[in-house]
Amino acid sequence: MLGEAQVHVIGEEREQGLGGLAGLSPGSMARAWATPAGRVDVTHFIWIGGGQGIVPREVKRRYEKQHPNVSIELYEGTNAVTYPKMVAQRQVDPNKPLINFGFFNIDAHTKGTLDDMWLPLDKKMIPNLEGIYEPYRVKDNRGAPWGMSGIGILHNRRLVRDAPTSWNDIFDPRFKGKVVIFDYAFAFNGLLGVAYANGGSEKNIDVAFERYARAARDGQFLALVTTNQQVKDTLARGEALIAPYFMSFAITWNEEESGGQGPFGYGVPREGMIPFTFYFHIVKGSTPAQVEVASEVINMYLWKDTMARYANFTAAIPLIKGAVMKPQYKNEPSFAPANIQKALQPDWAYIAEKTPEWRARWDRQVKANMR
């Protein structure tokens, strides 16, 4: 869900900041550069596309230079395709995982938590865990949340004078017949936000389903969509005026046009945006030496300057204290620390458990009533 942002690639002198060592005690610094004994091969999952491979390659190069006995293989792909392969490999041999560590979104994080896929992270080996914003930290450190893409309400800023400011604006009469909603994607189609805006939550979802069913009957929705491109195209053409979706897309889609002057805007709902969170994980079955390498590399990533660099390439919102974004991102409301800390915090494990039931309910109450 990350987009590409163009940032000047800086040279070897800047790469010194990728060590994740600044601000650490001498003891932590020595620990970070302690070389595991013998040959160590690890497989590091990274996302493919956009600017997502730049910083991982810098980190790999930096670590391998300091640890000549370590080889880090970068496995590029998507969580949707790779996670099922990880599950399949564990069934073949739980002590030879396909992936040792890497980047995982909230969907894969939740599935892995339910599947008992992840190892707890050791704070002594990863002292930069302390830089993560408190509301996002995971119980027992079974994962390191490092960033997110905020979900709010996109709009065509050339046609909508007043940006949406509440999840309930999805139902504003001025947008009748001009709202696009992602089909089934309860994490980012506004259903959760509407529940919270009306006194509910993921554990009391009835009010949101009732409002969506009524809106479908009344012709509030233009269409249910299934791709990023459909959201982009309907908004750009003015067929739709608003869409609950990832706010980072408004930024990156605008950057595709000269001077960043695309038609996309967004509003951060006053009830709070939905955070689609990104994590680092270490996979069960990894050897102690692999865990040691993975921990040290994750510690490098979690240094505020490294995380800011990654976020600047991908338009992710960093969850690391002190991460400094490029000026145009610093001025984006979705990047404001107050909005990040105020974001809603749904129980994603509960949502994963209820999704089959919600899909059936969506078919009955929303899709069946679309006009």
Pairing of strands 144-156, 317-318: antiparallel
What pLDDT sits at residue 35? 58
Say which amino acid occupies 2: L
Task: Write down the pLDDT at residue 87.
Answer: 94
What DSSP string runs through 144-180?
EEEEEEEEEEEEETTT-SS---SGGGGG-GGGTT-EE
Give the residue carrying structure tokens 């496995």.
Answer: 75
Q: Select from 2, 93, 77 the least CA-distant residue to 43.
A: 77
**Are 248 and 320 contacting, i.e. CB atoms less than 8 angstroms apart?**
no
- State the pTM of this model: 0.71
Print burial letters for 245-278: b (CB count within 10 Å at least 16), e (below 16).
bbbbbbbbbbbeeeeeebbbbbbbbebbbbbbbb
Neighbours of 14 (CB within 10 A): 13
Cα gap 22→12, rounded to integer Å:
16
pLDDT (0 to 100) of residue 135: 82
Residue type, 201: S
Give mean pLDDT in consecutive 10-residue pieces for the chain, a chain of 371 residues: 29 38 39 67 88 92 96 91 93 98 93 94 96 90 94 96 96 98 89 97 97 97 90 96 92 83 94 94 98 97 95 88 86 87 90 90 96 83
Domains and CATH numbers, the chain: 12-148+275-342 (3.40.190.10), 151-273+346-369 (3.40.190.10)
Judge whether 284 and 86 are in contact, CB under 8 Å.
no
Query: What Rg, from alpha-carbon coordinates, does the chain have?
Result: 21
**β-pair partners for 242:** 155, 179
Residues 6+ apart with CB under 8 A from 67: 35, 36, 40, 293
Q: For CA atoms 199, 204, 207, 213, give the dihedral sign.
A: positive
pLDDT for the residue numbered 50: 61
> Given this model, what pLDDT does residue 79 score?
85
Q: Which two tokens stand for residue 307?
A: 């995380």
Q: Are 101 and 294 in contact (CB under 8 A)?
A: yes
